[in-house]
Amino acid sequence: MSSASVVFPDDWVWGAATAAYQIEGAVRAGGRGQSIWDTFSHTPGKIVNGDTGDIACDHFHRYPDDIALMRELGLGGYRFSIAWPRIFPTGSGRPNTEGIDFYRRLIDELHTAGITPYVTLYHWDLPQPLQDRGGWGNRDTAHRFGEYVQTVAAALGAGVQHWFTINEPWVAAFLGHWTGDHAPGARDFRLALLAAHNLLLAHGEGMAALRSEMRPGDEAGIVLNLAPSEPADDSNADLEAAHRMDGFVNRWFLDALYRGVYPDDMVRLYGDAMPEIAAGDMDLISRPTDVLGVNYYSRSVVAYDPAAMPLHTRRVTPPSARVTAMGWEIFPSGLYDVLQRVHDDYAPGRLLVTENGAALNDVLDEGVVDDPAREDFLHEHLLQVYRAVQASVPVAGYFAWSLLDNFEWAWGYSARFGLIFVDFATQERIVKRSGRWYSEVTRENVVGA
Ligand code: FCB
């Protein structure tokens, strides 16, 4: 270790993350029901190249090999999600034992490998039968989620100490119901706001269910996508636009979860589009949690745009920006900014970086994937996480997105985020250069400065 290195705390968690629909495949195996992502990915025109998650990384069958690879990377934690339609194929009724058994085997095998499971209960694969009854536009879906969480926590809780209710409610609500880029593909702002509220209610129901099953020392919380919001120039119009974007993406969820209110300025802006908020809703949403998962990819640089309804804002990419293969600006210090800001303004007791990574145009050449740009990306972001640690922000771990190249939602297999390359024709896995680098970090607990 050179003196120009930073050493992470002893109990730091080094991990990697995935989500069920992005890696499992085997969509008809083990009694799994259909999800909104099966429907959406099979709808022509929705996904790049018409890709679907039917096979994905075939992780459902290959999980023992994938756990062996996690060991190779030296992971201490693995964040994955449970597919609701594997547990409740029809969305309600009796749980499907085969689905539960799959996750029990996965969790057991992780423990055998010395890897701690971090379980997300909803990473966007709503059972289609619940969508047929209104999906996230229907409050009842939040109750169904509570029942599903209760079932999972009762069945698997002995092996799980770390739970996350919902992954990125902003994305599920607004990309799913406003822009139509994600399942179920609706384009209706009012519906999206209702979906956002019902997703937060589901989080509250999920927390209540988890609390009834958790043991002392276990932890539970939600995962949010957070991005610092900065004005494109120093005009008042852009400053206000950036504040609105912050309200839309960050404060809407943080204020609701940690203060039990939606931010006034945004409520006024949304006006008639506001969903009805029943008595007790905000108390349920703001029940105490133990941990906040932060997913960070980029910042928002925001300009005033009078034509953009209803927010009058537009995201722009600064001309000098470094970008990933998906055009997302690479902005490492934004990760420090969000961690520090969340700590200052909302003070969750514990924070985990639950996703961070980059899509790059990886090339497999003679059995090797040389991706120095991903190594740099991770390296620069880890130094920002370390800055937060030093500033006494209670951040306790880092999960790279992603363990494997996988089905990247609307981008299908065209966007690769993995530490491990997947040849989707053969299912061969090849640890990328960035993965090898990460394995040194995880083993030594040190990042070169
Ligand atoms: C996040 C999602 C994750 C992955 C990354 C790139 O929004 O949680 O599933 O798609 O983006």
pLDDT tens string 421-434? 999 999 999 999 99
Q: How many domains does the chain have?
A: 1
Given a cut of 90, whether residue 363 has pLDDT beyond it is yes
**Are 158 and 220 contacting, i.e. CB atoms less than 8 angstroms apart?**
no
Q: How far is CA 388 from CA 122, 384, 396, in A?
A: 28, 7, 10
Neighbours of 404 (CB within 10 A): 23
Given a cut of 70, whether residue 435 has pLDDT beyond it is yes
- What is the rounded average pLDDT of the residues 361-378? 98
Q: How many CA atoms lie within 13 A of 87 on its CB side?
A: 24
Summarised one tens digit per residue, pLDDT across range 168-221 is 999 999 999 999 999 999 999 999 999 999 999 999 999 999 999 999 999 999
Atom of ligand 1 nearest to the CA of 19: 9
Atom of ligand 1 nearest to the CA of 225: 7
Residue whose structure tokens are 């700590």: 343
| Closest Cα to atom 9 of ligand 1 | 19
Given a cut of 80, whether residue 1 has pLDDT beyond it is no
What's the whole-number average pLDDT of the chain?
98
Tell me how far apart the alpha carbons of residues 361 and 56 are, in angstroms, rounded to a whole number. 18
Specify the CATH number for the domain of residue 410.
3.20.20.80
For residue 3, what pLDDT is reported? 59
Q: What are phi and psi of 375, to 5 degrees?
A: -55, -45
Q: Ligand 1: distance of its center to the CA of 417 in Å?
A: 9
What's the chain's length in residues?
Answer: 449
Beta carbon of 295 within 6 Å of any ligand 1 atom: yes
Q: Ligand 1: distance of its center to the CA of 357 in Å?
A: 9
Buried b / exposed e across 337-361, counting CB within 10 Å, b at 16+? bbbbbbbeeeebeebbbbbbbbbbe
Q: Ligand 1: distance of its center to the CA of 354 in Å?
A: 10
Beta carbon of 167 within 6 Å of any ligand 1 atom: yes
For residue 325, what pLDDT is reported? 98
Which spans in 157-188 are helix H?
A: 169-170, 176-177
Beta carbon of 417 within 6 Å of any ligand 1 atom: yes
| 242 token code pair | 């950036």
Summarised one tens digit per residue, pLDDT across range 237-295 is 999 999 999 999 999 999 999 999 999 999 999 999 999 999 999 999 999 999 999 99
Task: Please list the active-site residues.
Answer: 168, 355
**Range of the structural domain that residue 413 is part of:** 5-448
| Closest Cα to atom 10 of ligand 1 | 408
Strand partners, 80: 119
| Closest Cα to atom 4 of ligand 1 | 408
70: CB partners within 8 A, 6+ apart: 16, 78, 110, 113, 115, 403
Given a cut of 70, whether residue 362 has pLDDT beyond it is yes
Q: Which DSSP helix (H) or strand (E) runs through 252?
A: helix 252-259
Neighbours of 286 (CB within 10 A): 19
Given a cut of 90, whether residue 391 has pLDDT beyond it is yes
Residue whose structure tokens are 């009834």: 212
Strands 291-295 and 313-316 come out as unpaired
| 266 token code pair | 């945004």
Q: What is the pTM of this model?
A: 0.98
Given a cut of 70, whether residue 233 has pLDDT beyond it is yes
Tell me how far apart the alpha carbons of residues 350 and 360 are, in angstroms, rounded to a whole number. 31
E-strand spans in 123-174? 162-167
Atom of ligand 1 nearest to the CA of 409: 10
Closest by CA position to 387, among listed 353, 346, 340, 419: 340
Diameter of the chain by CA atoms? 62
Tell me how far apart the alpha carbons of residues 395 and 15 are, in angstroms, rounded to a whole number. 14
